[in-house]
């Protein structure tokens, strides 16, 4: 399985592609950061991110896309930019018909380090070990994108099979509950 991990951000959007399966060594395919300037209007920055995500999907042909789930931080301007970049990534992947998964930061940290409260240095060190790299990817957004891809390979595949089985049985969590008449 080949997964594109995306750590969304308006200024720095981490992109990382990892290939492998559960129980086998994983392989780094590519990693980088899409950057936009704060001097450029937001709409144009989002177009740059859209084109970048499209180029990565075209070049690397992932089987799935894993995006960090946006969570509330103290700085609302950071939340807004992260949410906008995340939305772009979701739309680009969905337009291509790729399965998309959202993983929380604590889920990703727990998956790669065993500690849902691990710091950036710990995550970077574990990414280095898991992918057998010479040094942690820089900046942290790049390491976070790889961590998302790894998390999806290790956990996402199993969750997708559970969801498919529930949907086939007609008891899926994605089913819209029906309201009984009063």
| pLDDT tens-digit readout, 157-171 | 666 666 667 778 886
The structural domains of the chain, ordered by start, are 2-169 (3.30.420.10)
pLDDT in tens, 116-160: 999 999 999 999 999 999 999 999 999 999 999 999 999 976 666
Closest CA to 146 of 159, 168, 129, 171: 129
Position 84 scores a pLDDT of 95
6 within 8 A of 68, measured Cβ to Cβ:
yes
68 within 8 A of 86, measured Cβ to Cβ:
yes
pLDDT in tens, 5-52: 999 999 999 999 999 999 999 999 999 999 999 999 999 999 999 999
Structural tokens at position 1:
């399985």
Position 73 scores a pLDDT of 61
Residue 141 marked in a binding site:
yes
Residue 180 has pLDDT above 50, yes or no: no
Q: How far apart are CA 55 and CA 60, in angstroms?
A: 8
Position 161 scores a pLDDT of 64
How many C-beta atoms lie closer than 10 Å to residue 100's C-beta? 19
Position 70 scores a pLDDT of 87
Residue 7 marked in a binding site:
yes
Position 74 scores a pLDDT of 60
What average pLDDT score do residues 108-113 get?
96
Question: Which of 91-100, 107-116, 148-157 is predicted least confidently?
Answer: 148-157
Which residues are known catalytic residues? Answer: 7, 68, 141
Bigger pLDDT: 77 vs 132: 132
* pTM, rounded to two decimals: 0.86
């Amino acid at each position: 399985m080949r997964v594109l991990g995306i750590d969304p951000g308006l200024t720095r959007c981490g992109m990382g592609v990892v290939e492998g399966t559960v129980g086998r060594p994983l392989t780094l395919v590519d990693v980088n950061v899409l950057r936009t300037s704060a001097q450029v209007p937001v709409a144009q920055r989002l177009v740059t991110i859209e084109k970048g995500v499209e180029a990565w999907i075209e070049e690397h042909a992932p089987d799935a896309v894993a995006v960090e789930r946006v969570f509330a931080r103290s700085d609302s301007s950071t939340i807004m930019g992260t949410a906008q970049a995340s939305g772009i990534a979701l739309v680009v992947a969905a337009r291509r018909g790729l399965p998309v998964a959202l993983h929380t930061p604590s889920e990703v940290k727990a998956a790669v380090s065993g500690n849902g409260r691990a710091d950036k240095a710990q995550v970077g060190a574990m990414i280095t070990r898991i992918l057998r790299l010479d040094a942690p990817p820089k900046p942290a957004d790049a390491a976070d994108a790889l961590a998302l891809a790894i998390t999806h390979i290790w956990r996402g595949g199993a969750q997708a099979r559970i969801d498919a089985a529930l949907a086939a049985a007609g008891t899926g969590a994605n089913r819209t509950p029906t309201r009984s008449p009063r």
